[in-house]
Amino acid sequence: MKFQYWLSVCLVMLIGCVSTSTWPSPSSNDAGNAMLIRRGAYLAVAADCASCHRGVADAAPYAGGLAIVSPLGKIIASNITPSVSAGIGAYTEEEFRRALKDGIGRGGMPLYPAMPYTAYRKLTDDDIHALYAYFMNAVPPDDRRPPPTRLDFPFSIRSSMRVWNALFLDDTRAAKPLSPELERGRYLVDALGHCSACHSPRNWLMAEDNRNRYLSGGAVNGWYAPNITSDPESGIGNWTQAELVQYLRSGQVRNKAQAAGPMAEAVEYSLRHLDEADLNAIAAYLKQTPAMGTPDGASPAQAADTALAQAGASTSLPGAALYASACATCHRLGGQGAYDGYFPSLTRNSDVGADKPNNLIMTILYGVERRGENVTVWMPAFGQTLDDAQVADLVNYVGMRFGRRLTHVSADDVATLRKGGPTPAIAWLPYMMAALGLLIVIAIGYWLARVRGRHSRKDARQPD
């Protein structure tokens, strides 16, 4: 017993000696910490933590409170400053790792997947360590507590997320090893940038379909995150590497595409701050993804419509006058744009020519706002001044005149996007459950009535 005790004391001392002899001096340790924190700060930007977790009132970084609109209802982003009372100050590194990778908050509370842990699951432990060092040491604590998230039953029961996690958390590793640059690109796209959260379609339970339709286009609260696979027709296959890098850095490529809505936020808060090598790695990775058509993309009927649109005289459409009064000052009557592309051309714009009119409708309703390094891009929102029918007329005119597509957008289509897009099937779950509950009650009632009926018949036959 004694011998074992002294043996262990000696061992501990030996290990202590070896490890202290390899300890760096305090000053290089500080430099190491500073480097770790700086790396964590860069990772937080690449993972876009700030765009969801920003404060609402005075935009205090990471103070939370922003309501993330989801088909389940509004989910409030947490305060992730190191405040012990309101933020994540009490999180250990292991708890922080679990929140990011498993979607389990402190005390075992399952988080809603509005927090993109399905993507952060692929983060390396080294990067989680750097992120933790950054949040704990370099983010100023903010003691304001955001309001709690209140969803309707059954989504209010957080434990239901455990079932969802069991079904959909995916740990399959990519089969094909890539070059170091492409691996970096894959990591930025899949783990940090969580691009598939918007750019992959989802199933009826709101899980991303990355196995079959990776990055081939997905709906985001009324917007449409287009196909960004290497498909030359519906994806980014005909974009050059330089165009992709420029789009990610500035949100616009002249005569091609502009980033509005959720993509404008991704550019503003995250992508424009990434270094050149990382932007190139993302572009190179996207360019070699398997080409895939957009789900429910253009049909042959639409192609025929396009030919018709090219032949048709479009100036007589009801949207023409609206366009002249509301849009032409900036985009010009011929749609060619102005001021060196600051007001972009609509004749060569990915949203105007797109199969899906979503982004054109949403741009008219909500405008564009995107802050860059030295320029803020701004287009007014027309959602308050134009009604649904007027927006539909405008979209049909702009689509035909400049996008060479015959679109048949109705006032109802516009109304649907105004409220965040068509209701996905999962939102009907409470009603389905209520209907099922009612059926069960009726069935039990019927069964009880029959049993009782049988008993009373028996009672009637056997007088006591």
Give the whole-angstrom CA distance, residue 298 versus residue 301. 8
By DSSP bridging, strand 376-379 and strand 67-70 are unpaired
**Packing angle between helix 241-250 and helix 276-287, nearest 10 degrees?**
130
Q: Provide, rounded to whole angstroms, the least separation between the CB of residue 1 and ligand HEC.
A: 46
Which CB sits closer to ligand HEC, 154 or 437? 154
CB-based contact 79:64 (threshold 8 Å): yes
In b/e form, how buried is each residue of 316-352, taking b as 16+ CB within 10 angstroms?
A: ebebbebbeebbeeebeeebbbeeeeebbbbbbbbbb
Which CB sits closer to ligand HEC, 42 or 96? 96
CB-based contact 52:77 (threshold 8 Å): yes
Consult the annotation and say whether 49 binds a ligand: yes
| CA angle, 207 then 208 then 214, to 5° | 165
Q: Provide, rounded to whole angstroms, the least separation between the CB of residue 421 and ligand HEC.
A: 11
Maximum separation of any 2 CA atoms in the chain, in Å = 101
Q: Is 463 helix (H, G, I), strand (E, B) or coil?
A: coil
CA 138 to chain centre: 26
Give the whole-angstrom CA distance, residue 220 versus residue 68. 11
Which CB sits closer to ligand HEC, 150 or 450? 150
In b/e form, how buried is each residue of 229-240, taking b as 16+ CB within 10 angstroms?
A: bbbeebbbbebe
Alpha helices, DSSP H only, in 207-299? 210-213, 241-250, 261-269, 276-287
Q: Provide, rounded to whole angstroms, the least separation between the CB of residue 307 and ligand HEC.
A: 23
Which CB sits closer to ligand HEC, 90 or 439? 90
Consult the annotation and say whether 331 binds a ligand: yes
Which CB sits closer to ligand HEC, 117 or 429? 117
Consult the annotation and say whether 330 binds a ligand: yes
Q: Provide, rounded to whole angstroms, the least separation between the CB of residue 305 and ligand HEC.
A: 19
Q: Provide, rounded to whole angstroms, the least separation between the CB of residue 174 and ligand HEC.
A: 16
Q: Provide, rounded to whole angstroms, the least separation between the CB of residue 111 and ligand HEC.
A: 4
Q: Provide, rounded to whole angstroms, the least separation between the CB of residue 239 and ligand HEC.
A: 7
Consult the annotation and say whether 10 binds a ligand: no
Consult the annotation and say whether 17 binds a ligand: no
Which CB sits closer to ligand HEC, 102 or 203? 102
Q: Provide, rounded to whole angstroms, the least separation between the CB of residue 190 and ligand HEC.
A: 9
Which CB sits closer to ligand HEC, 24 or 232? 232
Give the whole-angstrom CA distance, residue 372 versus residue 434. 48
Which CB sits closer to ligand HEC, 379 or 400? 379
| CA angle, 108 then 110 then 113, to 5° | 150
Q: Provide, rounded to whole angstroms, the least separation between the CB of residue 132 and ligand HEC.
A: 8
Residues linked to residue 368 through DSSP beta bridges, in sequence order: 379
Give the whole-angstrom CA distance, residue 447 versus residue 455. 12
Which CB sits closer to ligand HEC, 217 or 305? 217
DSSP state of 190: I
Give the long-range contacts of residues 313-319, CB within 8 A, separation 24 or more: 314/397, 314/400, 314/401, 315/401, 317/393, 317/396, 317/397, 317/400, 317/401, 318/393, 318/397, 319/393, 319/394, 319/395, 319/396, 319/397, 319/398
Residues flagged as binding site for heme c: 49, 52-53, 195, 198-199, 327, 330-331
